[in-house]
Amino acid sequence: MTCWIFVSYFSIYNQTPRRVELNVGGEMYTTTLSTLKKHPGSKLAEMFTGQPKLRTDSEGRFFIDRPGTYFKYILEYLRSNQVPTQCIQDVYKEALFYDIEPLIKQLEDSPQIFGELVARKQFLARVPNYSENIELMIRIARAEAVASRRSSVIVCVVRTEEDAARCQDALSSLDMDKKSVVKFGPWKAAPSISDLLDCIQMDVEAKGYKIAFQPHVAEKGFRFKSHDFFYRFLFTWW
């Protein structure tokens, strides 16, 4: 979605008034130059410092191609130091873009951002090749989706080296049957296999896919309960 921020030359370069009118993604805002420049080190302040750094429209108004939906929260923070309690993830993205460091730090202390950056992301960083395996799952599912409503991907999740050794024969058996398996783990962190499965589903769904998972029950090659480590992720296409 193309979103614009418009600011007039007159508002910035005349001594009075210092009012700045903005059209942010179709939503109108009125503020002051001092509000926009409240944090001198920010990208937002830099946009309105010195010579114009933004393109202008036919009426001489500046514009920025950014989402405007959450700009009201950015503006409210600049006006009153009020940290938003709604749309935290989206406001955080905009705070990063505008490089408003005090707001970034306060949002990172919120449960939503703290949980994502410190807890979940740090856990996933300890799972070898996690991001690459997510992409591999998607490629396999798409390859099997031709003329089908659903496709599935077998996933092996092992938390410890001992679990990985126990699964080796089963993995070899599935390979002989020409069945693709995406293996996650092992990892050295507290979260369980169930926690990782939830993360996989969350991150694949974040890419726009509709998925669910269930234990994979194998017919052969398993000396243990296959559903302890093997799962089938189902992609629904239509």
Strands 150-157 and 61-62: unpaired
Q: What is the pLDDT of residue 15?
A: 43
State the CATH architecture for 15-109.
2-Layer Sandwich (3.30)
Domain residues of the chain, as ranges?
15-109, 126-236
Give the DSSP per-residue string, 45-112: HHHTSSS--S-B-TTSEE---S--TTHHHHHHHHHH-PPP-SSHHHHHHHHHHHT-HHHHHHHHTSHH
**CA pair distance 156, 168, nearest whole angstrom:** 10
Q: What is the mean pLDDT of each run of 10 residues along the chain (238 residues)?
A: 50 55 76 90 87 66 80 94 92 94 94 88 94 96 91 94 87 82 94 95 95 82 64 95
Q: What is the pLDDT of residue 225?
A: 57
